[in-house]
Amino acid sequence: MTADPPAGGDRRLTRHADVRAVLADPRFLVPAAPAAPPGTGMAWLRGAVSRFSNGDEHARRRARVVESLDALDPVRLRREACERTSAELAGGARVDVMARIARRVPIGVLATRLGVPEDRREEVVAAVTTMAAAYHLPSAPGEASAGDAAVGVLAAALGEGGEEPGPGLLAAVAGMLVQACDATAGLVGNTLAAVTRLPADVAARWPVEALLAETLRWDPPVRLTRRVAAEDATAGGVAVPAGTVLVLDLAAANRDPEVFPDPHRFDPARFDPARLRQGRGEGGGHLGFGSGIRPCPGERAALALAAGVVAAALGHRLADPEIPYEPSPNLRVPAGLHLEGAETMEGPR
């Protein structure tokens, strides 16, 4: 554990075992958002989603999210994401995958499966993108007001042709879609950034699932998360008083050499399903979807959506090796990633 105060916290944990221990310890809570004010704007949304809540409130809200996600067919999610991506890439022209696909296709597919009418899909995709920009505090006044309007767009789309969604359902759906906007887009972009730099025959050796899993370890879209000590405790072998804010460095923990040999090498063999079934892989020890008592409930849906996009994009060439990234301390998401053409790739997909 580092003693120099990191941005947004008092202590930073970087060892895999220490991060996992805190994530499994109920004495460490998520920094809570202020209580939801009246209305259905961004301040209300932050106070109403499961992500920024704890205890019984979190359990109740999370159960609604899990119920909604469990009703989705991951095979269908993957197929639809693959079909929509293939349509966007048809013709082989240069395409910014982030703007045209990664930030649109997963949201659009998930939104329609969660009750948004097909003819409102693109409108909701734009609204969710706006909401994502204002989701984390602090947000600029312009972002907040635009986000307020965007929440209203989503509520209207969900209520079209039926009853208006209750606040619990609206918060659950909005939270799921915002996650698809940032984290899933980052997973798609970071996977393609890594894979398109490999020789085509090397990339073709691995199933998409192994490529995604190794990206979640090697270059995860969610880099940091935070926990607050609700009482005096220890973390990383050091006493932490109540109120201490811990920054859990997921990216550093995912490259802990005590868990992952040669950790700075991108190696999908670590998560090859055949090797894992035979007990020869390194297991599912990455922290890309968290761990412990509140792992990400959207893992199955996110992997299905990302797999569909990546499978359709494999074989296309990286048009520009210089990839810019969004300016975020917590996320690593390409701001643009241009692909062109397509090479024939044979191998497990």
Residue-wise pLDDT tens digits, 216-255: 999 999 999 999 999 999 999 999 999 999 999 999 999 9
* The pLDDT of residue 199 is above 70: yes
Mean pLDDT, the chain, rounded, equals 90
Give me the pLDDT at residue 277, please: 57
Residue 64, Cβ density class (10 Å: 0-12 exposed, 13-18 middle, ≥19 buried): middle
DSSP state letters, 242-289: TTPEEEEEHHHHTT-TTTSSSTTS--GGGG-HHHHHTT-S--S---BT
Say if strands 11-13 and 245-249 run parallel, antiparallel, or are unpaired.
parallel
DSSP state of 102: I
Dihedral, 223, 279, 79, 197 alpha carbons, nearest 10: 50
Tens-digit pLDDT profile for residues 253-279: 999 999 999 999 999 999 877 766 554
Question: Does residue 34 have a cis peptide bond before it, meaning omega lies within 30 degrees of 0?
Answer: no
pLDDT at 2: 56
More confident residue, 102 or 143: 102
Dihedral sign of CA atoms 99, 101, 105, 108 in order: positive
Q: Which domains does the chain have, with CATH numbers?
A: 11-340 (1.10.630.10)
pLDDT at 36: 74
Cα–Cα distance between 48 and 42 in angstroms, integer?
A: 10
Q: Which pLDDT band, with edges at 50, 70 and 90, does 153 fall under?
A: very high
* Owner of token pair 């609204």: 127
Q: Note the pLDDT tens digit of each residue in 311-347.
A: 999 989 999 999 999 998 899 999 999 999 765 445 5
Report the C-alpha gap between 191 and 175 in whole angstroms. Answer: 23
- d(CA 219, CA 205) in angstroms, rounded, equals 20
Structure confidence at residue 323 (pLDDT): 96
Apex 265 CA angle, 253 and 78, nearest 5: 80
* pLDDT tens string 9-49: 789 999 999 999 999 999 999 998 888 787 778 989 999 99
Per-residue pLDDT tens over the stretch 39-94: 778 989 999 999 999 999 999 999 999 999 999 999 999 999 999 999 999 988 89
At residue 133 the predicted structure's pLDDT band, cuts being 50, 70 and 90, is confident
Least reliable range by pLDDT among 101-110, 148-157, 258-267, 337-346 = 337-346
Q: Is the per-residue pLDDT at 201 higher than 50?
A: yes
User: Which secondary structure element, helix H or strand E, spans residue 28, and what is its range?
Assistant: strand 28-29
* Burial degree of 127 (CB within 10 A; 0-12, 13-18, 19+): buried
